[in-house]
Structure 1
Amino acid sequence: MARVRYGARTEAEIAAARTARAELPDIWSTGVVAVWESDPDAVAAVLPPPLEPTGRPLVRVNISTVELPGYPLGAGSFAVAAAHGGVGGWYPLVMPMTHERALTGGREVFGEPKKLGEVTVERDGPVVRASLARHGVAFVEVRGTVSGDLPVPEPRPKTDFYFKFLPAVDGSGFDAGPVLVHCVRRETVRRLERITGDVVLRESAYDPVADLPVRRLVEITIGEKTSDQRGKVVERVSAEALLPYAHQRYDDPQQVHDGLPEGSA
């Protein structure tokens, strides 16, 4: 009988796949990163316990193209500053990816809030435009002009916080206790430039990042970098406390009935 490809893999095939993942070469990306101070109450409102606000209500958007073998990948992250157990880091609210393959590993293994979307990084001489879009709305756009080189930072670890969970089969709560994951990336940068420009947040029913306005722009940069990542479960969290935030992970059709933030035009 011909091999049935949906059948069980042999131990040797499983070991070979594990070895191949461990021996991946450095994968470099070109990315635009914008950081700004936002409304401290809004930043606090999106953090599920036990995450807590830091001393500064920062928001960060990262918009990158990744040099994956065989095809390019667009990868984005929109995150707020957070802390847990004395560790400072970032809590991503949405991570648009342009390919399904990029979704599954991070979403199922780490609990990353990845969704299919459009990710654009364009550079024409000194002029740069980068955006994240879903459902026909470019809900984040970063635009500006390269205004000089920046020192290349030393390799350093960065922590992202994720909640890993599965919605219950009967639609009520979770099937198992959710966990908090610390994902530590060691980032190496080979080029970094300053951008003088601005950040535009557009209203989107499915990606309501406009609720975290730009109060004071801290920096915009464009750089070439590579990183690896290691994740670990640090604690089990209260399902009851996390459930009100579970909608962050999914496109909730009821969101289309939400009103605009007070004072929006």
Structure 2
Amino acid sequence: MARVRYGARTEAEIAATRTASSKLPDIWSTGVVAVWESDPDVVAAVLPPPLKPTARPLVRANISKVDLAGYPLGAGSVAVAAEHGGVAGWYPLVMPMTHERALTGGREVFGEPKKLGEVTVERDGLVVRAAMARHGIAFVEVRGAVSGSLPLPEPAQKTDFYFKFLPGVDGSGFDADPVLVHCVRNERVRKLESVTGDVVLRESMYDPVADLPVRRLVEITIGEKTSDQRGRVVERVSAQALLPYIHQRYDDPRQILDGPPEGSV
């Protein structure tokens, strides 16, 4: 009988896949990173418990073009600064990717809030433009001009927080208790430049990052970096506490009816 590709793989094939994935070469990306201070109440409002806001209400947009053999990948994220158990990190609200292959592992393994979208990084001489778009709306655009080289940072360890869960098959709650994941990345940078420019947030009912206004721009950089990642489950979290936030993961048109967070102006 000819090989049935949907059939069970042998133990040797499974082992070979694991070995190959553990020996991936360095994958370098060119990315624009913008960091700004937003409204403290708004940043706190988007954090599901047990995540807590940090002393500074920071928001980070990371827009990258990844050098993958065979096909380039656009990868983006919008995240807010957060803390858990004494660990400072970032809580991504949306992570648009240009290929489905990049979605699957991140969503199913780590619980990353990845969605298909358009991600572009363009540079013409000193002029830089980077954007994340979905449903025809460039909901984040970073634009400016390179203003100088920056010293290369030392290799650093950075943490992102994700919630991994499966909605219940009966349409109510979850199939099992959701878990909080710490995803740790070891990052190396080989080129880094400062950018003088601005961040434009456009209204989108699907990706409402415009609710996180730029009150003070901290920095914009463009650089080349590589990183690995590993995740671990740190605790099971309250399903009841997480339920009000799961719309963050999906395109919910009812978000357009949401009122502003209490205390916002």
Instruction: Give the TM-score taking structure 1 as reference length.
Output: 0.97
CA distance in 1, matches of 2:258, 2:226: 39
**8 Å Cα contact 2:36/2:217 also seen in 1:** yes
2:55 maps to a residue whose letter is G
Please give the secondary structure, in 2, of the residue aligned with 1:172: coil
How far did residue 257 of structure 1 move? Answer: 3.9
Q: 1:162 to 1:144 in 2, by over 3 A?
A: same
1:85-164 alignment to 2 at 5 Å?
Answer: 85-164=85-164
2:146 maps to a residue whose letter is V
Please give the secondary structure, in 2, of the residue aligned with 1:241: helix
How far did residue 254 of structure 1 move? Answer: 1.9
The residue aligned with 2:200 is 200
Please give the secondary structure, in 1, of the residue aligned with 2:206: coil
How far did residue 261 of structure 1 move? Answer: 8.3
2:131 maps to a residue whose letter is S
**8 Å Cα contact 1:205/1:258 also seen in 2:** no
Please give the secondary structure, in 1, of the residue aligned with 2:243: helix
Structure 1: gaps of 5 or more residues: none
CA distance in 1, matches of 2:94, 2:140: 11
Structure 2: gaps of 5 or more residues: none
CA distance in 2, matches of 1:138, 1:260: 21
Q: 1:44 to 1:260 in 2, by over 3 A?
A: closer
The residue aligned with 2:187 is 187
2:9 maps to a residue whose letter is R
Please give the secondary structure, in 2, of the residue aligned with 1:181: strand
The residue aligned with 1:34 is 34
**8 Å Cα contact 1:31/1:224 also seen in 2:** yes
The residue aligned with 1:24 is 24
CA distance in 2, matches of 1:238, 1:34: 33
The residue aligned with 2:236 is 236
How far did residue 258 of structure 1 move? Answer: 4.1
The residue aligned with 2:254 is 254
CA distance in 1, matches of 2:66, 2:21: 17
Please give the secondary structure, in 2, of the residue aligned with 1:255: helix
Deviations 1:149-202 (A, max 9, x none): 000000010000000000000110000000000000000000000000000000
**8 Å Cα contact 1:189/1:223 also seen in 2:** yes
CA distance in 2, matches of 1:233, 1:261: 30
Q: 1:20 to 1:106 in 2, by over 3 A?
A: same
**8 Å Cα contact 1:38/1:59 also seen in 2:** yes
Once superposed, what is the RMSD of the aligned Cα atoms? 1.3
How far did residue 259 of structure 1 move? Answer: 6.0
Please give the secondary structure, in 2, of the residue aligned with 1:68: coil
247-256 vs 156-165, which deviates more? 247-256
Instruction: Give the TM-score taking structure 2 as reference length.
Output: 0.97
The residue aligned with 2:78 is 78
Percent identity of paired positions between Structure 1 and Structure 2: 85
The residue aligned with 1:45 is 45
**8 Å Cα contact 1:182/1:232 also seen in 2:** yes
Deviations 1:22-68 (A, max 9, x none): 01100000000000000000000000000000000000000000001
The residue aligned with 1:15 is 15
2:164 maps to a residue whose letter is K
The residue aligned with 1:176 is 176
